Each structure stands twice: as structure tokens, then as C-alpha cells.
Structure 1
Amino acid sequence: MAVLVFLPSLQNEFVNWDDDRNFYDNTFVVHSVDFASLIANTPAIFSTPIIGNYNPLSIWTFALENVIYGLDQPFYWHLDNLLLHLLCIFFVFRISIALGLNLWASVICTLLFAIHPMKVESVAWVTERKDVLFGAFYLAALYYYILGVKNKKPNQHLIKIMVLFLLSGLSKIQAVTLPLSMLAVDYLLGRKIIFKRITEKWFYFLISIFIGLLGIYFLRQQGSLNSSVDYAWYDRLFVGSFSYVVYFIKFFVPYRLIPLYPYPPQLSIIHYLSMIPAIGIVLFTIWAYIKEWKNLVFGIAFFTFNIFFLLQILGAGQGFQADRFTYIAYFGFGYALAYYLQKWASSPKNRTIINVIVSLYLVAIAYITYQQNKIWENSASLWSHVIKYHPNTTLPWGNRANYYRDSGFDRLALQDYNKAISLGENKPGPFNSRAKLFFKSQNRDTILMALRDYNQAIALEPTNGEYYMNRGATYARLNDLNSALQDLTRASELDPNNTTIYLNRSIVYHQLGQYQNEIADINRFLRLDPNNANMWANLANAQMLSGLWDLSLPNINQAIRMNPNMGVYYFYRAQYYYNTGNSAAAQQDLNQARQLGFQFNGGIENLRM
């Protein structure tokens, strides 16, 4: 059934919401073109956060997929997400059985996990590979822990669990809750919750603290702990209570499912009043604990443990809620509901009506899930859905415009950029993006419009290196090379690890005939990204133009090794051979360049530089 409801996701494209930064614009993923380069890039993948998030194992799976499938086959990337979700479903079923549900109730619990509409974001969005990947390791670790507890040997599978826990944590920071979930299992299976229950798990808590601190460090380093709205600290508590109650409700009634829930400019009375039901849930759980309703307490506790750190009380990202946050947490509710359905269905007179109600509910959520997958078909459908609910938010208009621009729908893109700017939020992003649309033009007046937009973006955010880089490229197109150099140099000061800056500046230096400066920038580029064959070839060409013939040959050979199908590389090497007196080798390379489609109408005698 899960395969059927998620079938539309297999036809979806990548989307321009973090898919770009996570893989198709991620240097370590893009340049993992074979297993050798994947191995070479692995240390960098495991030492580099992406958008402030440290989930290197998820990124590594993207690099592996690029090796196997390439970036033009989104079907297989989506298929891998679905297969991992199926693996999570398998462990949910095994856990349900291990925790005492009968087969009928375990199937219900598993289906509630498998086809719930709140799962769509985690499965249908490739970037959220981290959910299904961390979930598979997390649930496997929890399952083996349950087996050990039931055998009265909690540490029976210690090494296996620790490895799974570490892999889960390297997939997503949310895995830090595993020791708390273990405590919930202890309670359900009759192990008295005393201090010893905590101390016996010190090694799990140690891993949890390490992963958590590492994640917070990278979030803080990238500035991702700041939300788009600056609330007072006490308002943050109400953001948390509101999200907690909404997640509670959406398990039973999955309504208004949106990929982005932007922060409201200010909290409303509903946010403040949400503290009442949130406290009510806590008090009810304490009462249930006193009454020894273990299954209910376990369900609420498991949900709370796995959602608490995602309530955005600290604040991170552009939204204060996300459907994907409930991926693991909802198992708690699913288990508790299935347990009580099992209990009530033990009476023959209740069994039929319960089967009918459960069947109708499962069909209803299956339909919602099936339809929800279609929202993720492409970036236009994704952001159009967000705009339907949040028409006064800049981000969805700008992102939909980016999709239209990159797809060649310039008129639609311009309309959306204008709308984003008209919202009056004075954000530099839409100006920068609209400038990129104007920059594509061959008309000088339109390129001047790009220049004006870049000026506005820089005025609004004068410390953003990308804006100077883009304005520098615009000056270059307008043949104002000195202004281009000034902007690109400023960009390199603000963003010294941006390879595109050195690429663009090396081109300007080449146009000015400053080959030594060009060589210096290419070397800076290659220190950051040694897997770019074009830059090795450009380095060799600049060295030949500077008369550094002996230095150029190893570099052009490196380019040819990395990509032997580029005719221009053989043309460069032919120039080297001709100018160093090896005419036979030059002719051979020139013939190879022509066979590969490189157009050169002259004879070998015209190769002299």
C-alpha cells in the first residue's frame, strides 16, 4: 500500500529548495563521478556542513547516487527515498510486534506510519533523504534494544546498537533522542524508571551529546539558529507550544499540509492560548502515568521526546513547523492508537464497527498522501501550493520565479520577481535573482537593468560576496573590466571559499592579458576544487601564454585524464607539442581534437601561440 500511495513521487523532479545546495550544486557530489573520486571526496563530505546542517552520511549517499545514476535521473533518487521508507516500515512492524501488539494491531500501527500524509515531505523530497536514512538506522537500533530488554539483557546488542546510532546521527541530528526513546521502552516493558536506567545508558547519552553539540556548533557557525523573525525569548515558548499542539492534532486530522510554514510577523492570540492545551497534554500524561495506562503514556512520551527538540524554541530556518519533523515521532501515537483499537476490538460486537472505521480512515489518509505527493512534482507546483496559503511571503514567489527563469519561462519569472519585490520586505534576494534574469539578455539596456538590481541588492546587504561577484560579471559583460575586477576582489574578501569568484576573475585577467594573475586565481580555484577538468586545461593554457611550457604539460594531461572526450584539451596539448618541437605529437592531438568535434580550420603551422 505504501508503494501505491507514494508512486507519484517517482515521477517528480528535483526542486529548487535545498536540492541545489545539497547535491546538484554541491561540489563534492557533482565531482563524485566514479568510485575513485567518491572516495577522494569522502573526507571533505564528512567535514563540511551544508546550510549549517551536519548530515554527512545523507550527503554521501547523494554522491554515491551521482556515481551510479548521474544527476539527470531523479527517478532513481526518489526510488531510493521510497526504498528507505519501506525499510523504516519494516522495522516499525517488527517493533510493534516486539512491543506486544497482535498481528492485526501491528498492521494498523505500521500503516499509520507508512501512509500518513505527514510522511510525504520526508519521502517525496530528495533533500529529506536524511529523514528516511536516519529513521532506518534509528528504528533498527531501537528494535535491537527492545529485543535485549525483553531478553533481560539490555546491552545484548550493544555494539550493533552503537554503530546504528552513530550512523543515524551522521544522517540527521534528530537521532539524539534515541536514549530517551529507550527510556520510554523501558517504562512500557516494565523496567522501573530509576536513575540506574539513565546511568546504564551513559554511552548512548555520550553519543547523543556529541552529535547534538556538533550539530549546534555548525548551525551557529552558519547563522542557521536565527529565524526570519526576531521574537522575544518568551514568545519562543509559545511558538513551541503552538507547534506541539498542531502536531498533536495533525496526527488525527492531517489538514493544511504545506511545504513551508513561514514565521508570522507577530504572534496571535491563538499562539498564546496554545499553551493551555499543551500544558493540558502534559498534565493528562502525568494523570495517565498515575493510573498506570502504560501504553498511552508510552505513546505520548515517545511522541514528545522525538518532537521536543524540533519545536523551534531556539529557532532555526525559515519555517517554525515542518511536516517532516514528525517522521519518527508519530510512531508513538500510532502504537498507542493501535493498542487501544486492539483492546476494544477484543469484543466481537465492537470488531466490525472498528474495522469499518479504521478502513475508512486509512483509505482517507492514503488518498490525501497520494495527492500530496503531486505537490512535489516540480518547483512550480511546490511553490504554487505555498503561495496559495501564504501569498504575502517573499520566498515562494522568488523561488517559483527562479524555476521559471531556469526553465526559460522568462515572462512568468519576471512577473513573480516583481511580485516578490512589491511585497515591500526590502529583501536583497529578489533583486539579485531578477538581475540574473536580466543578465541572460543580449540587449545592453537589459543588462544595465541587471546592474541596477545588483546595486540595490548590495545596498540592502553590503556584506554578501555573491552580489559583488554577480555585479562583477555584469561589469565584465559591459566591458568595464576594471570595475569587474574591483567587485570580484571585494567578493573574494567576503567569500574566500567561493570558487566561482576565482573562475570569473581568472576570465577577466585572461581578457586583460594578465596571465600571471589568471594563473594565481586558477590555482586558488583548484585548491578548493581539484576535480574540475576545465580549470586544469585553463591553467595549462595560461601557463603556455606566459611561456611556462614545462609547467603546462602535466596540467593539460591532468585535464585529459579527467575528461578524455573534450577536443579543446587535445588542441591545447597540440599547441604545447608544436611549440616545443614535437610536430608529430602535435598533429596526432590536433586530429584527435577534430574527431571530438573541436573546430579548427587551420593547419598545424597555425598552432603557434
Structure 2
Amino acid sequence: MKACAARWARRPLPASTSPSTSTAWCASKRNSICFCSTGNPPAKPMSKRHKRRPQETPRSRQAAAAAESGAHAALASTPTEETAVAGPRAPAARHWPLALGLLVATLTVLVFLPCLRNGFVNWDDDFNILNNPDFRGLGWTQLKWMFTTFYLGPYQPLSWLTLGADYALWGLDPFGYHLTNLLLHGANAAVFFAVALAVLRRLTPEPETNDWRPPLAAAFASLAFSLHPLRVESVAWVTERRDVLSGLFYLLSVWSYLRGLSRAGWAERHAWALAFFACALMSKAIVISLPLVLIALDFYPLRRLPLEPGRWFQAQARPVWTEKIPYMLLALAAGAFGFIAQREVGATLSLQDWGLMPRISQAFYGLIFYLPKTLWPTGLYALYEAPQPILIWKWPYWACAGSVIAITGATVWTWRRWPAGLVLWVFYGVSLAPVLGLVKLGQAATADRYTYLACLGWALAAGAVLLRGLRCGRTGRSASIVLAALICGVLGFLSARQIAVWRNSESLWSNALRHNPKHIYAANNLGTALLEQGRTDEAIAQLLIAIRNHPVSAYAFYNLGNALAKKGVTDKAMAAYREALRWDGSYFQAHNNLAALLASQGQISEAEKHFRDAIRLRPAMAHAHLGLADILRDTGRTAEAISEYEQALLISPGLTEARNGLGIAWARQGRLPEAAASFRAAVAAQPADLGARVNLAAVLSDMGREDEAVAQFQAALRIDPSCAAAHNGWGTALARRGRIDEAIARYREALRLDPRLAEAHNNLGTMLLNQGRSEQAVSQYREALALRPDYPEAHFNLANVLARRGELGEAAGHYRETLRLSPGNEPARKNLDAILKHLSGSR
């Protein structure tokens, strides 16, 4: 103990600690440093008599003040811990930490390099990336959406910003998105190396910046974190960009906090740490535990707070607490904001839906679940399921609760002798707290990605163990280095194998089924993956297995409906959607898809009801607004349709189908400039959208701008030469110029490509009539009506020809049908009146 005390006496105090506070805590510091960082055996415990503090007297207080004054004078000329060296720094020693940090980042990137061959998966990547037009790009519209949306629950504008940048660079190529995740993870490894080095140097009795052992131990700690297979889910899954991005800002905040301790002003010490913390919160709210982590570090190893609970809030310690107020305010604001966002989208469960007992049981289970996975990382798969029922008196929940209580009790009991134990346990617990289920968000009870921050402490502990081994003799040092290298190699191998699991949706869910054949979601998601590959029969077989395993699974019935609809078995698809709604009446996607099928079958009234149900359950569902708008437009309620189209675009500005539909509605109201503007916006957002381009050309033709119209029709045909609608529209533009023969050629080409295009039959009939070929014209009009009985223009044109030929009875019938379908057609009304008068006069 004397040797240890001598070493501690030579150790400079942290610049951020007041001399009086440091002097008061000197005894507890000596004991902990000797125990934790030297190879000497601990001294024999003192008896209670020896532990009793001597009574203070005025003379002893004066002596202590004099000694403290002398300590102040000595500290004034003592270098800080960061700059204290035993002698001149050699160039190799100066660059040794930098080289190791770069090596750590490089090794991390190399191990995770196979991620670049992976694609997107059908676990949120489809919602967030493939089917989400709103994040695509860095324009004002996209930026506004990123910073205001609660899409799927979390508020994560900075994560959306990086994904938008990926889209600007790579489009929808998964390579670019995985590359960004990979580089962020490599950067996290490097920053964690810097954090670990700063912490491990504080565990050294005589810190020297040219000592090679702390950097090597920090490199091992960083690799134990970055190469661990539990990191794969966060890195190989594009949706979890928020993990690696928030992790980077989190680590930069901790590093800035540690660096700032040697600085004088409050702003210099905390400005960067707070800025990085704010960025981390805007990437993923899981980092809200950072203020508690910093407080834990203040106890150990920073020793800015005393270990004795009775002295935690004394005057000397108050500045350490008060400086955390801005961090706490940021965390509380982000936590409240995040909870409101999750509740807005229905991602939270109330106490009635998820009781207090399951929450507590799941929390105990989660705290223990990751410990064996950290020590022995095998059996990893997506979406772990908690054992049922989730009750504290059932296995394994009572065992987990007992383990948590035992570990907590042991670390509290050894707090004074081994403060690192409780600090590590608190760090682990508070980092997991947001995802333990006490506030129930989503379906996952546990997940590999939840350990991205929580296991940093265990990696740091591994580095501390290696540092202790490096202080042994030559044999112990060599054995420690070999063992550390072996551990890194094994972790890298297991991670490479786990990365292959995330290659695509099929491999991801096949792996989950290998580990858990009764997985409630894996068979369903595998069926969906097979459906996306066009393997419809295999998908249906897998979805039926999912339903057999879980007969009340609304998800499985919903996806079965999607598969049957793709196969064209409409009746069975609608039955599957109805079954999904039977088990989950709030399944808004099932309402939407059932409504779409009903509309396609002409069951407009029921389709409208289900679209409205979908909107009621999820007001922010743009596709439901779009489907309802189409029904309203096609049933003559154009003003209501325009309102629904605008609502869809307000929710999802990149939804080109809504812009196209809005343009059609404007055109039907005769507001051609607004229609043209809407079609142009759709074409600008999606240049390959044939429907919007052909509609734009048609409106331009109706406005008399034939040259522009023909240019748009030609552009459409360059995209798809087999587009019958473009040939038909081009024919109409030519007809308006009086180029009848060319127009007839275009109409015939349209019908060759699509014989069921009623509009082309009608237009061709009109051109033939202009050439005096009335019999052929009548034949084309009748063909158009056979294909589309509710076609008012074809009824009107046929009625006109029949009237001219004297077939007044049939002509009157077609005029009546015209007026039924289009009550505002005044020429049809006048012609019908004339025929009826003629017929009545002839009688």
C-alpha cells in the first residue's frame, strides 16, 4: 500500500477537479487505483479501529489548510495527465495511437466488406427505401419532409438526410447505402478507439503518452466492439442507418466530453459534446441515456464524483451535476418528442393492451438475454421472440429477474472496492433502458441492434483486462496478445458468416426459420420475399405454413391475399384480406388492398367504404387517399376527388400517381392549365411515367399546342414503343391538324398493340366517318361499346351516324344512354328531342 500511495502522489489531478475536492477524496482514489491497475496484491483490510477517522481540531484544520496550499503550488507547475511524459517522445511513439486507430478502422471495414454485396430486405427496407418516394433527394421538398415527418414512428431527420444523399448519388442501388453504413461503422470503430484510449490511460498509475500498452488495449477494445457479430444487424441492414449514425455522434460526444475536462471555460468543455449529442438524438432517440452514462464515468474512472453516497451532493460535487442539466434537458425533450411521435403512428401499446407485469418481465429478460450472446455469439437471427407467456413467475423470467437482482447486489456491494463493476452494469442497463419494453414500442422483445451502444462497456472492460495482462511478465504479455488476436479473429469470422445471412430477404428469413421453425413472422416474410421474386406458388405454400403455425396471423392472411391477387385469383385474394380484417380490424393495409380489388371488380360502394376505413385508421396513408380519389373522380364527384388527391400529395409529395390523377380531375373540370401543370410535375418527378406523359400530351393537344403534344407523344414512344395510348393520342393530334390518313395509321397501330383500347376504336370510327366510310365507322363504334359499355362519347357518335342513316329508334336509345352517363351533354339532348318530335309527328 505504501508503494501504491507513492505512485498516486506523483499522479497529477484532473484539471477539471477543484484542489479542495481532490484532496478530500484522496483516500478512496488510492485504494481503487491500487486495486484496479497494478499487479500488487491488495493490502490486508484494516481493522475498524484503524478505519476510524481522527477527530478534527482547529490545529489539525490549520495544518490541512497549509498542506492544501502547498498542494496548490505543486499542481500549478505539474503537467496535466494528457501531457505528462517520462521523457522526450519518440516519433514512432507519437504516431503509434494514430496508426492503431487507422488499423482498427481498416480491419473493421475489411471484415464487413461483404455487406456491399447485400441487397435490401423486406423488413422495413421496403417501407423506408423501396416504396418511399419522399426521402429521395436533397431538394427543399425532401428536406422539409425529413425534418417534419414521424414516418413509421421515429423522428430521425439526420438519418433521412444521409439516406437522401445516398439516393442522390446511387439511386436505388443497395451498394451505395451499404457503403455508407460500412464507412460509418468503420468511423465508429476509430472514434471508440480514441474514447477507449482516453479511459484506459486513466487507469494507469503513471500515465505516459509514449506507453505502447494502453493504445494496444484500446485497439483490442475497439475491435471487440466493432467486429462482434451482434453488430451485423446494425451495419448490414440499411434501415438501421440510424444505429451507426447515432452511434457515431454518441461516441463523438463522449470523446468531446473527455477532451473537454482539461479545459477551463464551460463552453469549451461542453459545447462540442452537446452539439454531437443533439445530432445523435436527431439520428435515433435510443441515445437519450447519454447524460446518465457521463455521470457514471464521472464516478469512475474520471473520479470527479466521490464514491461515498453521503458526499455525492456536497458543494464540491455540485458543479459536476449542474453541468449535466443541458444534457438532461435535451434527453428529456427528445424522449417526450419521440414518445409522442410513436404514439401518433400507433406504435406504442397502452397499459390495457400490454400490462405492467409483462413490461417488467420483458425488461428483466432483456437485461440478461444479451450477456450470453455477447460472450458466445451464436444462434443469431432476426426478430427474436420472447418465450410465452411473459409472466415473472414463469421460466425464464423468474431466473432473469433473480440474475439481475444478484448482479446488481454484487456490484453495489463491491462499489467501494471495485467501482468499475457497478459503472459497467449501470452503463449497460441505462443504454438498454429505452428498448427493454417498459415503454412498449413495436413488436421486438430483443434484437441484436439494441446492443450497438449497450455493449460498448463490455468491450472497454475487455480492453482493461488486456491492459492488465500487458503489465505482466514477458510470457503473460505474449499470451495476452495472442489471446486477444485469436478473439478478434474468431469474432471477425463469425461476423463474416452472419453478414451472409443478410444477403437478401430469402436468406434472412430462412436463417430465422432454421433457428426457430415456429417463428411467428419468418415464414410470412419468407413467403413475401418469394412473392417479390415472382415465385408465387412457393410464396403461397410458405404463407399457408405461416397460417398453419399461427391461424390468427393477420399478417399472413394479408400477404396471402397479395400473392393470390398477383396470381389473378381475385375472389380468393379478397377472402384472404377479409380474413386478415377478421383477426385485426385495424389492419389499414388490408382495408386498402381489399378496396383496390373491389374497385377493380366494379364493387364501387364497398370499395369506397374500405378506402375510408383505411384513412380513418391511418390518416397519413397516401395510397388510401389516392384510391378514394380515383373512385370519386370516376363517379363524377370531381371536386371531392381533387381534395383527396391534394391530401395524398400533402402526405407524400413524391406520389406521381396522385399528381397524374389530379391532372385528370382538373381536365374533366375544363381547367386545362392546372391539369397541364399537374401532369408536368408528375413527369418531372418520374420521367419514365408513361401515363402522366401521355396525359400531358393529350391536354396540350386540347389546348391547341399540337407541336408540344406531338413531342410528348414521341417522348413516350421512345420510352415504350409499344405504348398504345401514345399512338392513339398522337393520332388525335394529327387529326386536329387535318392529317387524316396519318391519324388513321396511328389509330390502327394503337389497336394492333392493344385491340381492347376502346378510345382508339372510337377515334378510328370518327376518322373513317370523315372519309365517308360510315359502315366501317359504325363497326368501330360498336366495338368500342362492346369493350366499354359506359363510354358516353362512343354512344353519342354512334347515335349521330344512326340518325343520319334514318335508324331513329336505335339512335334515340344511344342518345338516352349518352345522357344517362353524361347528363350535361346538350347536343345529345337536342338531338334526342328532335328525334322524339319527328317520331311523334310521324305517328
Partner of 1:9: 115
Partner of 1:420: 546
Partner Cα separation in structure 2 for residue 238 and residue 566 of structure 1: 52
Quote how far apart the aligned CAs of 1:515 are: 4.8
**Counterpart check, 1:604 vs 2:733:** yes
Asked if 1 retains the 8 angstrom alpha-carbon contact of 2:645 and 2:662, the reply is yes
Partner of 1:387: 513
**After the TM superposition, which residues 562-577 of structure 1 pair with which residues of structure 2 at under 5 Å, given as runs?**
562-564=685-687, 569=692, 571-577=694-700
Aligned residues: 599
Provide closer, same or farther for how the CA distance between residues 75 and 337 of structure 1 changes in structure 2, counting only shifts above 3 A. same
Structure 1 window deviating more from structure 2 (392-401 vs 497-506): it is 497-506
Asked if 1 retains the 8 angstrom alpha-carbon contact of 2:134 and 2:653, the reply is no
Partner of 1:66: 167
Quote how far apart the aligned CAs of 1:80 are: 0.6
Output the amino acid matched with 1:483. E
Partner Cα separation in structure 2 for residue 311 and residue 585 of structure 1: 61
**After the TM superposition, which residues 447-466 of structure 1 pair with which residues of structure 2 at under 5 Å, given as runs?**
447-466=570-589
Structure 1 window deviating more from structure 2 (149-158 vs 380-389): it is 149-158
Partner Cα separation in structure 1 for residue 619 and residue 429 of structure 2: 42
**Counterpart check, 1:370 vs 2:493:** no
Quote how far apart the aligned CAs of 1:579 are: 3.1
Quote how far apart the aligned CAs of 1:336 are: 2.0
| 1:163-219 CA-partner distances (Å, limit 9, x unpaired) | 111000111112111111211222212212433222221111111111111122222
Partner Cα separation in structure 2 for residue 501 and residue 96 of structure 1: 51
Asked if 2 retains the 8 angstrom alpha-carbon contact of 1:150 and 1:189, the reply is no
Indicate which of 163, 175, 180 corresponds to 1:80.
180
Quote how far apart the aligned CAs of 1:543 are: 2.8
**Counterpart check, 1:190 vs 2:303:** yes
Partner of 1:329: 454
CA-based RMSD of the aligned residues comes to: 2.7
Output the amino acid matched with 1:558. A
Quote how far apart the aligned CAs of 1:6 are: 1.1
Indicate which of 471, 483, 495 corresponds to 2:594.
471
Asked if 1 retains the 8 angstrom alpha-carbon contact of 2:263 and 2:269, the reply is no
- Corresponding residue SS for 1:171: coil
Structure 1 window deviating more from structure 2 (96-105 vs 125-134): it is 96-105
Quote how far apart the aligned CAs of 1:404 are: 0.7
Quote how far apart the aligned CAs of 1:155 are: 5.1
Provide closer, same or farther for how the CA distance between residues 603 and 63 of structure 1 changes in structure 2, counting only shifts above 3 A. same
**Counterpart check, 1:528 vs 2:634:** no
Asked if 2 retains the 8 angstrom alpha-carbon contact of 1:149 and 1:186, the reply is no
**After the TM superposition, which residues 255-404 of structure 1 pair with which residues of structure 2 at under 5 Å, given as runs?**
255-267=378-390, 268-291=394-417, 293-348=418-473, 349-404=475-530
Q: Comparing both chains, which one has the higher relative contact order based on Cα–Cα distances under 8 Å and sequence gaps of 6 or more? A: 1
| 1:69-101 CA-partner distances (Å, limit 9, x unpaired) | 111x11111111111111111111111221234
- Corresponding residue SS for 1:274: helix
Output the amino acid matched with 1:396. A
| 1:284-339 CA-partner distances (Å, limit 9, x unpaired) | 22233211x34444433332332233322333322211111111222211222221
Partner Cα separation in structure 2 for residue 478 and residue 594 of structure 1: 30
Structure 1 window deviating more from structure 2 (599-608 vs 172-181): it is 599-608
Asked if 2 retains the 8 angstrom alpha-carbon contact of 1:472 and 1:485, the reply is yes
Asked if 2 retains the 8 angstrom alpha-carbon contact of 1:560 and 1:570, the reply is yes
- Corresponding residue SS for 1:328: helix
Asked if 2 retains the 8 angstrom alpha-carbon contact of 1:184 and 1:298, the reply is yes
Asked if 1 retains the 8 angstrom alpha-carbon contact of 2:198 and 2:258, the reply is yes
- Corresponding residue SS for 2:179: helix
Provide closer, same or farther for how the CA distance between residues 528 and 152 of structure 1 changes in structure 2, counting only shifts above 3 A. closer
Output the amino acid matched with 1:475. L
Runs of at least 5 residues in structure 1 that lack an aligned partner in the other structure? none
Asked if 2 retains the 8 angstrom alpha-carbon contact of 1:301 and 1:332, the reply is no
Partner Cα separation in structure 2 for residue 14 and residue 416 of structure 1: 20
Quote how far apart the aligned CAs of 1:461 are: 2.4
Partner Cα separation in structure 2 for residue 310 and residue 581 of structure 1: 62
Quote how far apart the aligned CAs of 1:259 are: 1.7
Partner Cα separation in structure 1 for residue 352 and residue 123 of structure 2: 20
Quote how far apart the aligned CAs of 1:526 are: 2.6
**After the TM superposition, which residues 552-571 of structure 1 pair with which residues of structure 2 at under 5 Å, given as runs?**
552-564=675-687, 569=692, 571=694
Asked if 2 retains the 8 angstrom alpha-carbon contact of 1:239 and 1:311, the reply is yes
Provide closer, same or farther for how the CA distance between residues 351 and 519 of structure 1 changes in structure 2, counting only shifts above 3 A. same
Provide closer, same or farther for how the CA distance between residues 516 and 144 of structure 1 changes in structure 2, counting only shifts above 3 A. closer
Indicate which of 216, 220, 226 corresponds to 1:104.
216
Quote how far apart the aligned CAs of 1:383 are: 1.1
TM-score by length of structure 2 reads: 0.67
| 1:428-476 CA-partner distances (Å, limit 9, x unpaired) | 221111111111134xxx2110111122122222333322221121122
Partner of 1:45: 146
Partner Cα separation in structure 1 for residue 485 and residue 228 of structure 2: 14
Provide closer, same or farther for how the CA distance between residues 186 and 581 of structure 1 changes in structure 2, counting only shifts above 3 A. closer
Partner Cα separation in structure 2 for residue 156 and residue 604 of structure 1: 70
Partner Cα separation in structure 1 for residue 425 and residue 384 of structure 2: 24
Asked if 2 retains the 8 angstrom alpha-carbon contact of 1:23 and 1:59, the reply is no
Asked if 1 retains the 8 angstrom alpha-carbon contact of 2:133 and 2:655, the reply is no
Report the identity percentage: 26
Quote how far apart the aligned CAs of 1:548 are: 2.9
Partner of 2:258: 146
Provide closer, same or farther for how the CA distance between residues 407 and 163 of structure 1 changes in structure 2, counting only shifts above 3 A. same
Quote how far apart the aligned CAs of 1:523 are: 3.0
Asked if 1 retains the 8 angstrom alpha-carbon contact of 2:408 and 2:422, the reply is no
- Corresponding residue SS for 1:266: coil
Indicate which of 124, 127, 151 corresponds to 1:21.
127
| 1:467-510 CA-partner distances (Å, limit 9, x unpaired) | 22211211223233343233323433333332212322344455
Indicate which of 154, 168, 171 corresponds to 2:280.
168
Provide closer, same or farther for how the CA distance between residues 310 and 595 of structure 1 changes in structure 2, counting only shifts above 3 A. closer
Asked if 1 retains the 8 angstrom alpha-carbon contact of 2:260 and 2:269, the reply is yes
Structure 1 window deviating more from structure 2 (231-240 vs 53-62): it is 231-240
Quote how far apart the aligned CAs of 1:26 are: 2.5
Asked if 2 retains the 8 angstrom alpha-carbon contact of 1:224 and 1:316, the reply is yes
- Corresponding residue SS for 2:445: strand
Partner of 1:116: 228
Provide closer, same or farther for how the CA distance between residues 153 and 184 of structure 1 changes in structure 2, counting only shifts above 3 A. farther
